[in-house]
Amino acid sequence: MGSSPTITLHDKAFRPYLSAAELATAIDGVAARLNADYAGRRPLFVVVLTGGFMFAADLLKRFTGDCEIVFIRVASYEGTGSTGTVQEIMGLREDVQGRDLILVEDIVDTGTTLHHLLPTLRAKNPASIEIAALFFKPASLRHDLVLNYIAREIPNDFVVGYGLDYDGLGRNLPEVYVAA
């Protein structure tokens, strides 16, 4: 893939996995479907920080209808293993009752984060909740989730870049790398 070199973050080597152009194409696809499905509905995009920030920026630039955007924080993640720890929702001050929510996530891995987050959101009585995720690892999924807006399915490998980090590093990379 291109000429991007292998990189090192902390003690770990990563090799190029998806170029900025490949990411853009994948995001175009999700955006086109959201534009069709949400025409005239004014959804509320709920961006899950921190990992979702870069995907959200590029996805939302492609959303052509009226929408609102909020940012929440729910989970911590350390190293290359999911902690399974899900924190309370922070930052959701809007009244979401009757709204069409679109959760914007960096990646759905085991699904544990969403498995805990969705009931909390449903209790606030939105009209609908859909999930838009940059990546989905089908082989890792351990919960029953409906994922209608996935930009790209990936194997069960640890990826970094484009919002995703390895112990705090790599979020700023414009392309995605995989553990070498």
**Active-site amino acid positions:** 109
> CB of residue 42 vs ligand XMP: minimum separation in angstroms?
26
Residue 134 contact, options ligand XMP, Mg ion, none, Cβ 5-8 Å cut-off depending on partner type: none
Contact mark string toward ligand XMP, 68..87, x via CB under 6 A: ---------x----x-----
d(CA 87, CA 60): 26
CA–CA gap between residue 139 and residue 159 (Å, rounded): 15
In single-letter form, the type of residue at position 153 comes to E
Structure-token match 């900025």, residue found: 20
Block residue for tokens 């955006």: 31
Size of the site for Mg ion (CB under 5 A): 2
Q: If DSSP codes are grouped into helix, strand and coil, which group holds residue 161?
A: strand
Q: Amino acid letter at 79?
A: G
Tokens standing for 128? 């609908």
With CB under 6 A as the contact rule, the residue among 26, 31, 56, 160 that binds ligand XMP is 160
- Measured at CB, which residue is nearest to Mg ion? 51
Of 34 and 114, CB closest to Mg ion: 114
Q: Smallest distance from the beta carbon of 108 to Mg ion, in angstroms? A: 9
Give the footprint of ligand XMP on residues 22-41 (CB under 6 A): none
Q: Are 69 and 45 in contact (CB under 8 A)?
A: yes
Per CB under 5 A, the segment of 48-56, 57-65, 146-154, 172-180 that binds Mg ion is 48-56
What span, in angstroms and rounded, lies between the C-alpha atoms of 43 and 146? Answer: 18
By CB under 6 A, is residue 109 in contact with ligand XMP? yes
Contact residues toward Mg ion (CB under 5 A) are: 51, 106
